[in-house]
Amino acid sequence: MRLVVLGATGSIGRQTLEVAKALGIRVVGISVHTRVDAALKIAREFGIEVVAVTGLECVKPTALENVKLVTGERTVEQLVKLTAPDTVVVAVPGIAGLDAVLQAYPYVRRLCLANKESVVVGGRYLKRLLRDAGVEVLPVDSEHSAVLQLLEAARPVKVILTASGGALRDLSLEELENATVSQVLAHPNWQMGAKVTVDSATMVNKGLELFEAMWFFNLAPHQVDAAICRDSFVHAAVVFEDGVVKFHAGFPDMRVPIAYALTKPDRRWKGRVPELVGRSITFEPVPFDRYPAFALAKEILRERDTLKVGYCVADEVAVDAFLKGKIRFGEIYRMIEKVVESVEAADLDSWEEIEEALEATQRISKDVMRRWK
């Protein structure tokens, strides 16, 4: 297998490289946004042919022989054209993930998607493109990988994704409002990039994952839900018509779903096997007062596409503002709500419509941000 990893210096990117090394998979290309030195270190270690730098216009020529650096326009497309991979892992955060998918998909057979914003924003349009191009798309998110492994020929009645509740799950509602960046970034079960860790604390992440589950498995809004499983031991449950509920469980370790996405239908990763005796499994309902952004996502599931785009874009702007100390933690949700309320509801079927919706919601989000307080 020839593998390209987009976002190779991130949490998922690094774990993908580790899995590739353990399984003897050849990594031929990587992308990073700005961290060229870290990229070149990876290139040296893995004998990588091409390194794409997506966030800089130009970079100094590398002293590394046999490594080509690409920058500028359509960097990801240049990377996949030059390396001709079979499989691409998309581990780029946020809405930028959609552009990465659109540039990469025509050149690959299998896309392993860690990024969820791409499917929320790309929606039906992206699904059609990938289907027509015959690209196999597999989820890297642990919950969706779990669902994929649980499904069978019979249609499920419901899919339940689990949530840890994030770093702030035990704070009082007053403390929650003013939680600091360092409190938010201390996730109890997973080591992840900043955006997805903040999204985990607000549970915007679980909201996006409900959309993602509908997208991957052709489910209706009433067929997806989430429950809190504090230790993330269960990743997802699938309910069938005869009353049978199948759980997917194991220690939280992203290398497991990454390896599954890379090697499906094989199961080649050697993981730690849990002791089941004496272990209890508890599902708690998601408290909407603590996670209003999740409650909002559940409402939007039933709404038209532009509201989903608004939810994604507003969250990206608000999380950035929170990480820069411009707004309080509690204000992330209120900003998202304000933007979603201001978006004109419409469905999106073409790239032009998606682009227009992205531009409009970015404009609204910036406007809301400017006038905040």
Ligand X SMILES: NC(=O)c1ccc[n+]([C@@H]2O[C@H](COP(=O)([O-])OP(=O)(O)OC[C@H]3O[C@@H](n4cnc5c(N)ncnc54)[C@H](OP(=O)(O)O)[C@@H]3O)[C@@H](O)[C@H]2O)c1
| Residues at the site binding ligand X, with contacts judged by CB under 6 A | 7-13, 32-35, 54-55, 91-93, 96-97, 114-116, 141, 190, 192-194, 196, 254
Query: CB of 97: closest distance to ligand X in angstroms?
Result: 6
Q: Judged by CB, which is closer to ligand X: 141, or 225?
A: 141
Query: CB of 36: closest distance to ligand X in angstroms?
Result: 8
Q: Judged by CB, which is closer to ligand X: 96, or 102?
A: 96
Q: Judged by CB, which is closer to ligand X: 8, or 219?
A: 8
Torsion of CA 166, 172, 174, 175, to 10 degrees: -60
Q: Judged by CB, which is closer to ligand X: 190, or 372?
A: 190
Q: Judged by CB, which is closer to ligand X: 100, or 338?
A: 100
Query: CB of 102: closest distance to ligand X in angstroms?
Result: 13
Tell me how far apart the terminal alpha carbons of the chain are, to the nearest angstrom: 53
Comparing every residue's Cβ against ligand X, the nearest one is 10
Query: CB of 106: closest distance to ligand X in angstroms?
Result: 18
- Contact present, 213 and 150 (Cβ < 8 Å): no
- Contact present, 249 and 233 (Cβ < 8 Å): yes
- Contact present, 49 and 68 (Cβ < 8 Å): yes
Query: CB of 161: closest distance to ligand X in angstroms?
Result: 12
Q: Judged by CB, which is closer to ligand X: 80, or 114?
A: 114
322/204 Cα distance (integer angstroms): 14
Helix (H) or strand (E) holding 257: helix 255-263
- Contact present, 318 and 366 (Cβ < 8 Å): no
47/371 Cα distance (integer angstroms): 50
Query: CB of 27: closest distance to ligand X in angstroms?
Result: 14
Torsions phi, psi of 45, nearest 5?
Answer: -65, -40
Burial 222-245 (b: 16+ CB within 10 A, else e): ebbbbbbbbebbbbbbbbbeeeee
Q: Cβ of 362: how many Cβ atoms within 10 Å?
A: 18
